[in-house]
Amino acid sequence: MQLTQYTDYSLRVLVYLGMKNDGRATITELADYYQISRNHLVKVVHNLAQQQLILTQRGKNGGMSLARPANQIKVGDVVRLTEPNFHIAECFNNVSNKCVLTPNCRLKSILYQANVAFLTILDNYTIADSIVGLTVFKPDNSHAQG
């Protein structure tokens, strides 16, 4: 059981923006920081903007920023808006489902309850909660003795 890297990257973008003093960043800056594919990030950022989780600005001095304060963005909502589906088992996909137990099987509602519980926990936290203890740039210890 895992979330897609797409969702992972989406969360990291928001965390980075929350960490930065000015709250702004470009895709290139993020790709460099996380050492991940710039091209992939382009799509992640585009989706975050479509979902109104961030604001983007094209052109020179453009970039992105959080659409609202980090403490008002629930982790659960981010996951709901970025994860492609929550087809926990085949029976959750009405199109491809071929299980002969449907619709009498109780497993589906059990799995659904578990999925709800998963997202409910994430709803108890915001991007701000994820950031505690993090800073974009490491503290300046360059003058400290090795």
Partner DNA sequence: AAATAGATGTATATAAAATACATGTTATTG
Partner DNA sequence: CAATAACATGTATTTTATATACATCTATTT
Contact 53, 78 (CB under 8 A): yes
Nearest to 131 by CA among 15, 33, 17: 15
How many Cα atoms are found within 13 Å in the side-chain-facing hemisphere of 29? 15
Among 104, 141, 142, 145, binds a second copy (CB under 8 A): 104
Ramachandran assignment for 35, one of left (phi > 0), alpha (psi -120 to 50 degrees), beta (any other): left
Cβ atoms of residues 74 and 123 within 8 Å: yes
User: Which part of the chain contacts a second copy (CB under 8 A), choosing from 4-12, 23-31, 39-47, 58-66?
Assistant: 4-12
Should residue 63 be labelled a site residue for DNA when binding is judged by CB under 7 A?
yes
- Residues making contact with DNA (CB under 7 A): 2, 4-6, 8, 25-28, 36-40, 42-43, 45-46, 49-50, 56-64, 84
Chain residues binding a second copy by CB under 8 A are 1-3, 5, 7-8, 11-12, 15, 33-35, 75, 79, 83, 85-90, 92, 98-101, 104-107, 110-111, 113-115, 117-122, 125, 129-134
